[in-house]
Amino acid sequence: MATKLTTRLASAMLTSAMALSLFAVLPAHAADNDTPPAETPTTTETTTTDPTAPDPISDEDLKKQIQYYAEAFKQADGNYRIGEPLAGGTATGTVPSGLEKYYAQKFTGWDRGIMSDTVVQHGYLIVPIDYSDPSKGNIALYLNMYAATGERKGAIVFNNGGPGGSASDYVSGSPVWSNEIKKLNENYDIVGIDPRGVGDSLPFSQCAVDKFTDLTPDNPSVYTTDIEKETEANINTTKKHVNSCFAYTGKAFGFDEAKRELFLRNVGTTNAARDMDVLRSVLGEEKLNFIGLSYGTRLGYVYAQNFPQNVGKFTLDGAMNPFEGTAPTKADETPNLSDEKLRELNAHYLSQGKEFQATYEKFAQWCYSLKGNTKTWRELSEGTLDNDEVASCPLLLPEVQPHEGDLADDNVSLATQQVQNILRPLTTKPIKYVSDYGTTNGLSFDVASTALAGGMYAENKWPTVAHGLQQILSKKVDFAFVNLYDRYSRTDNYGRAGYTTVTCADSANPAAASVANYIRIEKMYHDVTPFRDPGAQYHDIGNLDSCSVWPFAGTLAAGTSVENLPNVLVVSTRNDPATAYENGEVLAKALFGTELTVEGAQHVAFGKQQPGYECANNIIVNYMINGTIPADGQYPPICSVASFRAAAEVPDVPENPATPPQPSKDESNPGEQPQNQTQLEEQKDEKQVKTAGTTSKTAGKAAKSASHKLAQTGVNVAALSVVMLMVIASGAVMVTMRRR
Q: What is the pLDDT of residues 16-30, one digit of tens each?
A: 322 323 222 333 322
Q: Which of 204, 142, 146, 203 is nearest to 168 (CA)?
A: 142
Distance CA 360, CA 415 (A): 8
The residue that leads in pLDDT, 387 or 636, is 387
Mean pLDDT of 431-460: 86
For the stretch 48-66, pLDDT in tens is: 589 999 999 999 999 998 9
Query: Once rounded to an integer, what is the mean pLDDT over residues 467-495?
Result: 77
Instruction: Indicate the SS3 state at residue 345.
Output: helix
pLDDT reading at 699 higher than 50: no
Mean pLDDT of 376-384: 95
pLDDT of residue 421 exceeding 90, the answer is: yes
Give the residue with greater pLDDT, 669 vs 464: 464
**Which has the minimum average pLDDT: 420-434, 609-623, 712-726?**
712-726
More confident residue, 14 or 638: 638
User: Tell me, what's the pLDDT at 220?
Assistant: 67
Other Cβ atoms closer than 10 A to 338: 8
Q: How confident is the model at residue 213 (pLDDT cuts 50, 70, 90)?
A: low
Q: How confident is the model at residue 523 (pLDDT cuts 50, 70, 90)?
A: very high
Of 8, 502, 556, 59, the C-alpha closest to 264 is 502
Domain boundaries, the chain: 25-69+204-265, 359-489
Give me the pLDDT at residue 212, please: 55
Please state, in angstroms and rounded to a whole number, the distance separating the CA atoms of residues 157 and 656.
36
Q: What percent of the chain has pLDDT over 90?
A: 67
State the pLDDT at residue 360: 97
- The reported pLDDT for the residue numbered 483 is 86
Q: What is the rounded distance in angstroms from the CA atom of residue 526 to the CA atom of residue 369?
A: 27
CA distances from 681 to 591, 613, 638, 641, 703 (A): 23, 19, 11, 11, 32
Looking at the DSSP bridge assignments, the partners of residue 128 are: 138
Q: CB-based contacts of 304: which residues, under 8 Å, 6+ apart?
A: 311, 314, 562, 565, 568, 591
Question: What is d(CA 493, CA 499) in angstroms, rounded to the nearest whole number?
Answer: 11
Is the pLDDT score of 734 beyond 70? no
Higher local confidence (pLDDT), 114 or 653:
114
Phi-psi region of 481 (alpha: psi -120 to 50; beta: other; left: phi over 0): alpha
- Residues 213-234 have a mean pLDDT of 78
pLDDT averaged over every residue in the chain: 81
Stronger pLDDT, 69 or 250, i.e. the higher one = 250
Give the pLDDT score at 696.
33
* Residue 47 predicted with pLDDT over 90: no
pLDDT of residue 263: 98
Strand partners, 571: 317, 596
Q: Which residue has the higher pLDDT, 161 or 686?
A: 161
pLDDT band of 657, cuts 50, 70, 90:
very low
Which pTM was predicted?
0.81
Query: What is the pLDDT averaged over residues 203-226?
Result: 74
Of 56-65, 297-306, 522-531, the poorest mean pLDDT is in: 56-65
pLDDT at 215: 46
- Cis peptide bond N-terminal to 398, omega within 30: no
**Nearest C-alpha neighbor of 536 from the set 375, 408, 674:** 408
pLDDT attached to residue 339 = 95
Residue 588's H or E segment, with its range, is helix 582-590
Q: What is the pLDDT of residue 434?
A: 80
Residue 495: predicted pLDDT = 52
Per-residue confidence (pLDDT) for residue 219, from 0 to 100: 59
| Residues 225/533, Cβ–Cβ less than 8 Å | no
691: burial class by Cβ within 10 Å (0-12, 13-18, 19+)?
A: middle
439 has pLDDT over 90:
no
Please report the DSSP string for 238-256 in residue order: HHHHHHHHHHHTTGGGT--
One-letter amino acid of 597: T
pLDDT at position 48 is 57
DSSP code of residue 557? P
Cα separation of 711 and 506, whole Å? Answer: 9
Angle at which helix 582-590 crosses helix 295-306, to 10 degrees, equals 10
Q: Collect all residues with Cβ–Cβ distance below 8 Å to 44 and sequence separation of at least 6.
A: none
Q: Which helix (H) or strand (E) holds 643?
A: strand 639-643
Residue 496 has pLDDT above 60, yes or no: yes
| Ranges 248-252, 369-373, 593-597, 704-708: which has the least confidence | 704-708
pLDDT of 668 strictly over 70? no
Alpha carbon dihedral 315, 351, 730, 325, in 10-degree steps, equals 50
Helix H segments across 293-427?
295-306, 339-345, 347-368, 377-380, 414-423
